[in-house]
A and B are shown apart, each in its own frame.
Chain A
Amino acid sequence: MSADLDVDAILADPGSRIIVCCGAGGVGKTTTAAAVALRAAERHGRRTVVLTIDPAKRLAQSLGLSELDNTPRQVKGIDTEATGGELHAMMLDMKRTFDDVVLAHTDPQRAQEIFANPFYAAMSSTFSGTQEYMAMEKLGQLRARDEWDLIVVDTPPSRSALDFLDAPARLARFLDGKMLRLLLAPAKAGGKSVFSLVTASFGVFSRVVQKVLGAQLLTDLSGFVAALDSMFGGFRQRAEQTYRILQDKETAFLLVAAPEPDAIREAAYFAQRLREDRMPLAGLVLNRMHASSAPGLSAADSLAAAEALAESGESPATVDALRIHAALTEQAEREQRVAARFTTSFPTVPTVVVMAQPADVHDVDGLRSIGEALA
């Protein structure tokens, strides 16, 4: 079995400046990020900011976040008297972050043209990977301001944990793509460039596009594409910068997984990827695990006993209690087996188990108990 993950040691180390909570959707990334940040502030006296993305409504409320907001707000009503720490929280506003990036890379007039373009509206809110890219961007901004001892980042609820790392490259690939070049330089397409291969069909293409979409749309499209192109260098540079921050030893990745096949598979892909990209994986949080409280009694024995007892008509409550025990035992065993797929492939990755709480976690007390479990 793997070593125990010591989250407190990370939080106590002034050299740790960034913690990234990643994993598949719904496993508890946001919850873990909030719990870790709260503990850093309360126990370790650090001036902490947590960047949450799409938190459950009630959790957001208990952190004092009522709407998307790109400025960190101090969380009130937590217990930092003894240590002097602070907790600030924010909820990523993807659209506004994208707007800020545009503003940073182009002059105001150009920016206004871009904002008015219908393609910009579509892309800034729905381009797959925009949320990931913007989370990275926001992290870069927070780090550059150097106002916090510790930045804890949640990652978007993507299906694949890798999306977070891949999004900037995907955006770059898109901006670098042949199609974009073609649209930018239809005149050049007649030349001897790589496009000559497709020149003939491109003629057909633009005719089709004109017919299918109309001329206005094509104008909007090339306007948008030209604008993107002018910002591209800036986009790429920033993404690369943030990528380097993630590789630095001031960063710690906390991989969160629930003991389900999909989540564990994602966690394994992600761990592999972090290794390849030399990014510092601090450990695995196995969240929402179950355990039996009467480990001496096997599932099979208690089911058999439940059947026999039911037959005899005695103590129906015990029959039910035995069935509950059998189901819980089976679930715990299944979870152990699933989790072992990760731990046997990555025996050196430290691990910590967080039990499933009886109810969802949406207040500071709940976050505190998750924090206890992590420590």
Chain B
Amino acid sequence: MTVDWSARLHVVTGKGGTGKTSVAASLALALARDGNRTLLVEVEGRQGIAQLFGLDPLPYEERRIATAPGGGEVRALAVDAEAALLEYLDMFYKLGAAGRALRKVGAIDFATTIAPGLRDVLLTGKAKEATTRSVNGRRAYHAVVVDAPPTGRIGRFLNVTAETARLAKMGPIKTQSDGVAALLRSPITSVHVVTLLEEMPVQETLDAIMELEQLGIPVGNVIVNNARPPLLAGGRPTQAELRRGLAAAGLPTDRATVAGLHAEAKGYLARRELEDSLRAELAELDRPLIELPQLPGGITRHGLDVLADTLLR
């Protein structure tokens, strides 16, 4: 299976803490190369993008946050359901001051609390709008990358029609969600799942992919994050071998050091065996698999470029 980034709306999900935000950001940087403009969208109101890039909290506004080689740029948008609803109502109903009053009385908060599906339609609707927007007859964005909710909620988040159909059987909300649903089920969209080589993230990856397939939403690449280089390909060294090696390196060869290294090697191999079996489970999905290296110093701006290189390779 070859890696394919030809979609225009990339949705990045994964278990909590696996690296969704980091991967979404590096994908937006990768796709901005060659002079393209991309949009990195955040939907959970956590200001994860601002934190990652060391910026002040982002407003509900598309802002340039990074440049890419070849004159490209990444813009970011922190979508706020409330603002999106007002924007949307304004477009159709010219609410003006009444809209602000709605906000004051907590109507919007109320509406999105009592009908959480409404919030999702607004958020995905905004992503759709940005993806399909054109300026002077040209696409506003080469690609839009969404840092999406985690695997446990991704099905519900993307399955907008089902959620709203329960509540609204006709009217503009229905039309809106039908439009979003159609886009999310077309080849324009691709959902990528980030995982670690740990049991729960892999399990959630398998579950989420099955759920998305059943919903008819296109699944793209599986991204294994934090992968460590394979060491000790020759298997577990003996203590004698380690003692020889340590001596050759001019290090202490006392029993504690030798036994300690030996135990660590054993632990490492046990871990790797588990990782290999998880990797095999992922391979059975028969989807493109990309491994991103664990960056020794954690994520930095340069680190994101390193990850971007790997995504494109």
* Interface, chain A (partner B; CB < 8 A): 25-26, 56-58, 118-119, 121-123, 126-128, 157, 159, 174, 177-180, 182, 195, 198, 200-202, 204-205, 208, 211-214, 216-217, 220-221, 224, 260, 262, 292-297, 301-302, 305-306, 308-309, 312, 314-325, 327-328, 330, 358-360
Docked-complex contact A202 and B93, CB < 8 angstroms = no
Query: A122 to chain B: which residues have CB within 8 Å?
Result: 114-117, 163, 166-167
Taking a contact as CB atoms under 8 Å apart, the answer to whether A315 and B17 are in contact is no
Inter-subunit contact B260/A317 (CB<8 Å): no
**Contact assessment for B232 and A317 in the assembled complex, using a CB-CB cutoff below 8 Å:** yes
Known contacts A57-B203, A201-B101; A318/B168 CB under 8 A: no
Q: Which of A157, A314, A317 contacts B234 (CB 8 A)?
A: A317
Task: Contacts A57-B203, A202-B105, A318-B246 given; indicate if A119 touches B98 (C-beta within 8 A).
Answer: no
Which of B105, B170, B231 sits near A179, CB closer than 8 Å?
A: B105
Q: Is B137 an interface residue (CB 8 A)?
A: no
Quote the shortest CB–CB distance from B65 to chain A (angstroms).
Answer: 22
Q: Which of B31-39, B52-60, B125-133, B267-275 contacts A (4 or more CB under 8 A)?
A: B267-275
Please indicate which of the listed interface residues A177, A179, A214 has the most CB atoms of chain B within 10 Å of its own CB: A179
24 CB < 8 A contacts A-B: A26-B16, A118-B166, A118-B167, A123-B113, A127-B114, A174-B110, A198-B105, A201-B105, A202-B105, A213-B171, A213-B173, A292-B264, A296-B252, A305-B250, A309-B245, A309-B249, A314-B245, A315-B237, A315-B248, A317-B245, A318-B241, A318-B246, A322-B261, A323-B231
Beyond A122-B116, A201-B97, A213-B171, whether A358 also contacts B251 by CB under 8 A is: no
CB distance from A169 to the nearest CB of B (A): 14
Residues of B within 8 A of A123 (CB): 113-114, 116
Q: Is B210 engaged at the interface, CB distance under 8 Å to the other chain?
A: no
| Residues B245 and A128 in contact, CB atoms below 8 Å apart | no
Give chain B interface residues in 69-101, CB to chain A under 8 Å.
89, 92-93, 95, 97-98, 101
In angstroms, Cα B104 to Cα A138, docked, is: 35
Residues of B contacting A321 in the complex (Cβ-Cβ under 8 angstroms):
232, 237, 242, 245, 261-262, 264-265
Mask: chain B, 234-266; 1 = CB below 8 Å from A; 0 = not? 100100011011101111101011011111110
* Chain B contacts for A262, CB-based, 8 A: 17
Residues of A within 8 A of B244 (CB): 315, 318
Shortest beta-carbon contacts, A-B, top 7: A318-B245, A294-B260, A315-B245, A201-B101, A317-B237, A293-B260, A179-B110
The answer, among B93, B260, B262, B271, for a CB contact under 8 Å with A208, is: B93
A contact residues around B248 at 8 Å (CB): 309, 312, 314-315, 318
Instruction: State A260–B248 Cα separation when bound (angstroms).
Output: 37
- Contacts A119-B115, A358-B270 known; A328 to B234 CB distance under 8 Å? no
B16 contact set on A, CB distance < 8 A:
25-26, 157, 159
Residues of B contacting A126 in the complex (Cβ-Cβ under 8 angstroms)? 116-117, 156
CA distance A260 to B107 in the complex (A): 38
**Which residues of A are found within 8 Å of B254, using beta-carbon distances?**
296
Quick one: closest B residue to A306, CB to CB?
B249
Please tell me if B172 contacts chain A, counting CB pairs below 8 Å. Answer: yes
Residues of A within 8 A of B283 (CB): none
Q: Does B198 touch A at the CB level, under 8 Å? A: yes
> Which of chain A's residues have a CB closer than 8 A to the CB of B114?
119, 122-123, 127, 221, 224
Additional 20 contacts, C-beta under 8 A, given A204-B98, A293-B263: A119-B167, A122-B114, A127-B113, A159-B46, A180-B110, A182-B107, A200-B101, A212-B89, A224-B114, A260-B17, A292-B264, A296-B254, A305-B251, A315-B245, A315-B248, A317-B245, A318-B248, A322-B249, A322-B261, A330-B296
Instruction: Kindly state whether residue B61 has any CB partner on chain A within 8 Å.
Output: no
Measured between beta carbons, the chain B residues less than 8 angstroms from A314 are 245, 248
Q: Please give, as numbers and ranges, the residues of chain B lying within 8 Å of A159 by CB-CB distance.
A: 16, 46
Contact with A212, one of B110, B163, B171, B234 (Cβ below 8 angstroms): B171
Chain A: minimal CB distance from B106 (Å): 5
Contact B271 A358 (CB under 8 A): yes
Smallest beta-carbon distance A90→chain B, Å: 20
Chain A's closest residue to B198 (CB) is A360
Q: How far is the CA of A319 from the CA of B231 in the complex (A)?
A: 9
B241 lies within 8 A of A315 (CB): yes
B199 close to A (CB within 8 Å)? yes
Report the separation of the CA atoms of residues A214 and B165 in the bound assembly, to the nearest whole angstrom. 12
Q: Is B102 an interface residue (CB 8 A)?
A: yes
Determine if B66 is an interface residue (Cβ-Cβ < 8 Å): no
B302 within 8 A of A: no
Contact at A317–B242, with CB atoms within 8 Å?
A: yes
CA A231 – CA B118 in complex, angstroms?
25
- Give the residues in chain A near B265, CB-CB below 8 Å: 317, 320-321, 324
CB distance from A221 to the nearest CB of B (A): 7
- The answer to the question of B312 belonging to the interface, with a C-beta cut-off of 8 Å to chain A, is no
A309 (CB) vs chain B CBs: closest residue: B249
- In the bound complex, do residue A297 and residue B252 qualify as a contact, i.e. CB atoms below 8 Å apart? yes
Give Cα A309 to B250, complex, Å.
Answer: 9
Cβ–Cβ contact A217 & B97, under 8 A: no
CB–CB A174/B113 < 8 A:
yes
Task: Tell me, yes or no, whether B169 is within 8 Å of chain A by CB.
Answer: yes
CB neighbours of A324 from chain B (8 A): 231-232, 261, 264-265, 268
In the complex the two chains form, what is the Cα distance from A112 to B189 in whole Å? Answer: 41
Q: Does B200 contact A (CB under 8 A)?
A: yes
Given contacts A122-B116, A318-B249, contact A294 B264 (CB under 8 A): yes
Residues of B within 8 A of A327 (CB): 228
CB-CB contacts below 8 Å: B189-223 with A:
198-200, 203
Residues of A close to B102: CB separation below 8 A: 201, 205
- A224 contacts across to B, CB distance below 8 A: 114
Chain B residue numbers with a CB within 8 Å of A316 are 234
Q: How far is the CA of A216 from the CA of B174 in the complex (A)?
A: 14
**Contact A292-B200, Cβ < 8 Å, known A127-B113, A320-B232:** no
Q: Which residues of the partner chain A approach B267 to less than 8 Å between Cβ atoms?
A: 293, 358
